[in-house]
């Protein structure tokens, strides 16, 4: 059953409201981290600010994608604009790789030329960052099944973990004055960034290559279809994601020789079962008869 329009509108309003909140909170946090980081010479704090800035861009792109994705299909783009969100997630993740590379470069340079850092200031701002990032992540948690929103959610959740690492570096510096903790934490932050980027890139590429969604077992789907009354076998089965959790399927279903009306009932039964069990809402089923058509040979007139 398709989602009713009021539900779609409510989902759209919820997504846009939460993304806008994330952008506002993120801007406040980045301004605070950059200011305190530059004053205290904390690379960990500045690198976390850079990571958060890239996340603001990611959330902004996700917001734009949400607006584009609700546009109706056109004659040329008959499936609509669902994959705009996938492309956005891919771009956001590639941007994260660049940010991670810059942090690694600056951390190595800082280790070679270590500078004193105010540990207490780092602790204060990192603590605020943990609260803000956790709040934004929680607001996006409800819509994490959408890869576009998932990218923004994952970034914010990761930011909370990264900010905790910055907090730890501030504690170490405040207690021991071991300033190397600052660039070392920055290097650890870059590892988290690369890991987060890899996860989203891998999933986005899978969708763009029209791979079977990770949570769907194609053999199980085939068995489900073949278990329905009237179905003998299934072949040429393909399952892919159009975008934003919208799944499509195409396949050839072999049945015994039947009337067209009976075949229509079988196709409807398959469609209902696929949506109920697997969330597949765009099935394309080609019915084939297992009874081979007799071959008629026409001979020339007068030939015996």
Q: What is the DSSP letter of 244?
A: T
- Residues 6 or more apart whose Cβ sits within 8 Å of residue 193: 51, 96, 97, 99, 100, 103, 158, 162
Amino acid 277: pLDDT: 92
What percentage of the chain exceeds 90 in pLDDT? Answer: 18
Mean pLDDT of the chain: 80
**Of the ranges 53-62, 124-133, 220-229, 251-260, which is most confident?**
220-229
How far from each other are the two terminal CA atoms of the chain, in whole angstroms? 60
Which one is the CATH code of 218-289: 3.30.70.1350, 3.20.20.150, 3.40.50.360, 3.30.1330.30? 3.30.70.1350
Rounded to 10 degrees, what is the CA torsion of 237, 242, 243, 247?
Answer: -40
Distance CA 226, CA 150 (A): 34
- In the chain, count H helices and then E strands: 8, 3
Q: What distance separates the 2 farthest-apart alpha carbons in the chain? A: 110
Distance CA 47, CA 53 (A): 10
Amino acid 218: pLDDT: 94
Distance CA 117, CA 55 (A): 25
Distance CA 220, CA 273 (A): 12
Task: Please state the length of the chain.
Answer: 304
For residue range 264-299, list pLDDT tens digits in order: 999 999 999 999 999 898 999 999 987 655 544 455
Which one is the CATH code of 5-208: 1.20.1510.10, 3.30.420.40, 3.60.15.10, 2.102.10.10? 1.20.1510.10
- Give the pair of three-digit tokens for residue 149: 């929103």
CA 17 to chain centre: 19
Contact 4, 89 (CB under 8 A): no
Amino acid 98: pLDDT: 82
Which residues share a beta bridge with 241? 247
Amino acid 295: pLDDT: 47
E strands along 115-269, which residues? 231-243, 246-255
* DSSP SS3 for 42: coil
Q: What is the DSSP letter of 291?
A: S
Helix (H) or strand (E) holding 212: none
pLDDT band at 1 (very low <50, low <70, confident <90, very high): very low
For residue range 7-55, list pLDDT tens digits in order: 457 777 777 887 888 788 888 888 887 888 788 777 767 777 776 777 7
- Residues 6 or more apart whose Cβ sits within 8 Å of residue 210: 238, 240, 241
Amino acid 6: pLDDT: 46
Instruction: Write down the domain spans for the chain.
Output: 5-208, 218-289
């Amino acid at each position: 059953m398709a989602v009713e329009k009021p539900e779609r509108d409510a989902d759209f309003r919820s997504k846009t409201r939460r993304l806008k909140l994330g952008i506002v909170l993120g801007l406040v946090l980045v301004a605070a981290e950059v200011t305190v980081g530059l004053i205290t010479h904390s690379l960990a704090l500045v690198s976390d600010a850079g990571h958060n800035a890239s996340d603001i861009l990611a959330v902004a792109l996700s917001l734009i994608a949400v607006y584009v994705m609700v546009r109706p299909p056109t004659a040329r783009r008959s499936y609509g604009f669902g994959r705009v969100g996938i492309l956005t997630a891919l771009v956001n993740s590639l941007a994260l790789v660049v940010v991670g590379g810059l942090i690694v470069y600056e951390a190595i340079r800082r280790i070679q030329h270590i500078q004193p850092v105010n540990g207490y200031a780092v602790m204060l701002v990192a603590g605020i960052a943990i609260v803000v990032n956790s709040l934004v992540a929680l607001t996006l948690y409800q819509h994490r099944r959408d890869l576009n929103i998932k990218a923004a959610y994952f970034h914010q959740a990761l930011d909370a973990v990264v900010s905790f690492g910055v907090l730890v570096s501030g504690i170490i510096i405040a207690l021991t004055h071991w300033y190397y903790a600052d660039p070392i934490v920055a290097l650890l932050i870059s590892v988290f960034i690369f890991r987060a980027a890899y996860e989203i890139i891998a999933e986005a590429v899978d969708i763009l290559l029209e791979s079977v969604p990770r949570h769907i077992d194609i053999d199980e789907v085939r068995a489900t279809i073949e278990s329905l009354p009237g179905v003998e076998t299934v072949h040429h089965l393909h399952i892919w994601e159009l975008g934003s959790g919208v799944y499509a399927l195409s396949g050839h279903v072999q049945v015994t020789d039947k009337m067209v009306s009976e075949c229509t009932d079988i196709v409807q039964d398959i469609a209902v079962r696929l949506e109920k069990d697997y969330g597949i809402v765009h099935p394309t089923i080609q019915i084939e008869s297992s009874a081979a058509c007799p071959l008629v040979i026409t001979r020339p007139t007068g030939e015996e």
